[in-house]
Amino acid sequence: MRNTELARLDGLVGQWVLTMSDAWFLQPPGTEVPGTTTVEWLGEAFVVVRSRFGGDEHEHSEMTLVLGRSDPDDAYVALYHDDRGVCRAFSMTFDGEHWTLTREDPDFHQRWIADVGPEMIRGRWEASEDAGATWRKDFDLTFRRAADT
């Protein structure tokens, strides 16, 4: 049986066309990197988000999020992994229109802030090197629902 709070994530399920933009590390400024994202249920307890970037002259990369829930804490949780071997745990909020991921780890703080609609998700990743006193944008991600879903 699917948890009621996890069922709220059902609107994310499907195929998405992904664009990374406004990244401080991409040159020249204005560079956009295309990608795709697949969001699907893993049983009744988890949602798996798999994103692939690259193509053309851009380096290929992949990242995976597994979204779940801790009922005793009344909170969503997210586990992250990418093809660099990086693994991170995030606290998550999701109300159907706004989606956040946050972590406050010793290496640095990081957050994802997004507005969610049925056909588009617009968000940005930010990082803080000073325990959240100041933030810098890493990059924007725009997800557009693929036409065949």
Q: What is the mean pLDDT of residues 134-139?
A: 95
- The total of structural domains in the chain comes to 1
Supply the pLDDT for residue 59.
65
Tell me, yes or no, whether 149 lies in a domain: no
Question: Quick check: 19 and 30 in contact, CB under 8 A?
Answer: no
The domain that holds 81 is classified in CATH as 2.40.128.20
Instruction: Classify residue 148: in a domain, yes or no.
Output: no
d(CA 54, CA 96): 29
Reduced to 3 states (helix: H, G, I; strand: E, B; else coil), residue 11 is helix
pLDDT tens per residue across span 91-120? 999 999 999 999 999 999 999 999 999 999
Task: Please give the pLDDT value at position 54.
Answer: 79
Q: What is the pLDDT of residues 6-62, one digit of tens each?
A: 999 999 999 999 999 999 988 888 889 999 999 999 999 999 999 999 766 556 789
Q: What is the span of the domain harbouring residue 123?
A: 4-143
Question: Per-residue pLDDT for 67 more than 90?
Answer: yes
Q: Residue 34, preceding bond cis, omega within 30 degrees?
A: no
Count Cβ atoms below 10 Å from residue 110 Cβ, excluding itself.
20
In a domain, 80, yes or no: yes
pLDDT digits (tens, 9 = 90+) for 25-41: 888 888 899 999 999 99
| pLDDT, mean of residues 113-139 | 96
Give the pLDDT of residue 55: 64
Q: Can you list the pairs that 97-106 forms with residues at least 24 positions away whose Cβ atoms lie under 8 Å? A: 99/123, 101/65, 104/131, 104/132
